[in-house]
């Protein structure tokens, strides 16, 4: 069969450093940190007292408040960025076949705040099971895709991928595949997460996964720095409109980039720790390059998973060196989690957006908060420390990895 080409024609963002795509990108270029003391709950008894929260967000500016109460924040975020991306793509929804438009979303946890509050309410009561009738619909991750499809009447492929922190890259790759195979013309894809809550921070603290640099939150996320001590929890969402190339060209759509391909793999090693030899990471990048039909030497920029954890950062960089060899010294590499924190299941979506904007504006966003070289990392690599760098980016690769050993990579190319 003849495979279809897939392009990106719209984008939207709601992040700890910007509530629109443009705000997000401008703050990435500036090297702005989104980390600050948590405002959502009392952290006095928590080991970590800061996170990368979405700021100045009023859901009433985007939807009816009565309707908003039926959605967990992660689904609210999904709706907001999907609206922005659909408007950005200038999709003529009324004139399109709704059976050929899908929604494939990603979320690692879903309605964690809803689950937390319903259980707390029950525990504080007399044992009578008085639960909100929207408890389950607000909690389950698939309702993000469901709400988007209901609002717009999209009747094509519709589901949510759950592969921990690889979820939204997984979703984007699935969306790409459905269009490539001719199963849809347009798919709204991306991811959302809202885990900055008592259960989220408490749970990750218990795992000793979070940074505890409470005296300096804005410098706590420091991928590849010798003194990194864990990741910073973030929240938000990102959306991309994937569209079949001829369909987009026919309607005169602007095109951010082409999706060349992607890859998926499993470490098959440990529930939370990365494979010590980076075996799964090596494989996922090799799969992505093969799927895209390009050589390793054609990649200009890698947006890494780069969470700021002691083991994870080293494993990914060593895997990159294994796959890219000498070309690794000619690429730019950066972790935008140094600015946004780790958005868990939404990380891949906002990092894909960073890749798209790097391609369109010939700017590589930095890895901020680098103070001390890690002797276990090759200092000759260009990890784009502390300042954005100008360079032509024709091909960008985005990596995301999740608990359970899930690995996902996606590759974008400037449309030539």
Residues catalogued as catalytic: 165, 305, 342
For residue 243, CA distances in Å to 182, 192, 236 come to 11, 20, 24
Give the bridge partners for 40, in sequence order: none
**Cα–Cα nearest to 349, from 237, 217, 221:** 237
Give backbone dihedrals phi and psi of 258, rounded to 5 degrees, phi first. Answer: -100, 140
Q: How far apart are CA 64 and CA 62, in angstroms?
A: 7
Query: What's the alpha-carbon Rg for the chain, to the nearest Å?
Result: 20
**Closest by CA position to 152, among listed 82, 208, 215, 216:** 82
Strand 257-266 with 6-14, pairing: antiparallel
Q: Positive or negative, the Cα torsion across 11, 17, 18, 22?
A: negative
409 vs 400: CA distance, rounded Å: 6
DSSP 216: -
Rounded CA-CA distance 327/397 in Å is: 14
Burial pattern 237-251, b for ≥16 Cβ within 10 A else e, equals bbbbbbbbbebbeee
């Amino acid at each position: 069969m003849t495979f279809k080409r897939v392009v990106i024609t719209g984008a939207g963002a709601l992040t700890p450093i910007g509530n629109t795509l443009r705000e997000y990108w401008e703050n990435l270029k500036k090297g702005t940190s989104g980390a600050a003391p948590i405002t959502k709950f009392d952290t006095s008894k928590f080991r970590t007292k800061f996170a990368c929260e979405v700021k100045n967000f009023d859901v009433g500016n985007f939807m009816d408040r009565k309707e908003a109460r039926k959605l967990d924040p992660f689904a609210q975020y999904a709706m907001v960025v999907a609206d922005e991306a659909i408007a950005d793509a200038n999709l003529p929804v009324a004139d399109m076949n709704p059976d050929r438009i899908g929604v494939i979303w990603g979320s690692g946890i879903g309605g964690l705040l809803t689950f937390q509050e319903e259980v707390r309410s029950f525990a504080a009561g007399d044992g009578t099971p008085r639960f909100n009738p929207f408890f389950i619909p607000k909690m389950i991750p698939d309702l993000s895709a469901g709400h988007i499809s209901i609002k717009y009447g999209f009747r094509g492929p519709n589901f949510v991928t759950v592969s921990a922190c690889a979820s939204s890259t997984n979703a984007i790759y699935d969306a790409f595949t459905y269009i490539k195979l001719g199963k849809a013309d347009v798919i709204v894809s991306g991811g959302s997460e809202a885990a900055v809550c008592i259960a989220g921070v408490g749970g990750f603290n218990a795992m000793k996964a979070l940074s505890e640099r409470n005296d300096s939150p804005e410098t706590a996320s420091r991928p590849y720095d010798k003194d990194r001590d864990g990741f910073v929890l973030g929240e938000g969402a990102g959306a991309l409109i994937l569209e079949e190339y001829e369909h987009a060209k026919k309607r005169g759509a602007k095109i951010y980039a082409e999706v060349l391909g992607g890859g998926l793999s499993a470490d098959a090693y440990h529930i939370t720790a990365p494979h010590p030899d980076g075996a799964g990471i090596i494989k996922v990048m090799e799969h992505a390059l093969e799927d895209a039909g390009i050589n390793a030497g054609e990649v200009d920029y890698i947006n890494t998973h780069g969470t700021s954890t002691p083991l994870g950062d080293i494993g990914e960089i060593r895997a990159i060196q294994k796959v890219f060899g000498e070309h690794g010294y000619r690429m730019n590499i950066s972790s935008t989690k140094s600015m946004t924190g780790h958005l868990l299941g939404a990380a891949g979506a906002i990092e894909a957006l960073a890749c798209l904007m790097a391609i369109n504006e010939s700017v590589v966003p930095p890895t901020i908060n680098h103070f001390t070289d890690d002797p276990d990392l090759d200092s000759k690599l260009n990890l784009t420390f502390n300042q954005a760098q100008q360079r032509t980016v024709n091909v960008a690769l985005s990596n995301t990895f999740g608990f359970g050993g899930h690995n996902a990579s996606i590759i974008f190319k400037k449309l030539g």
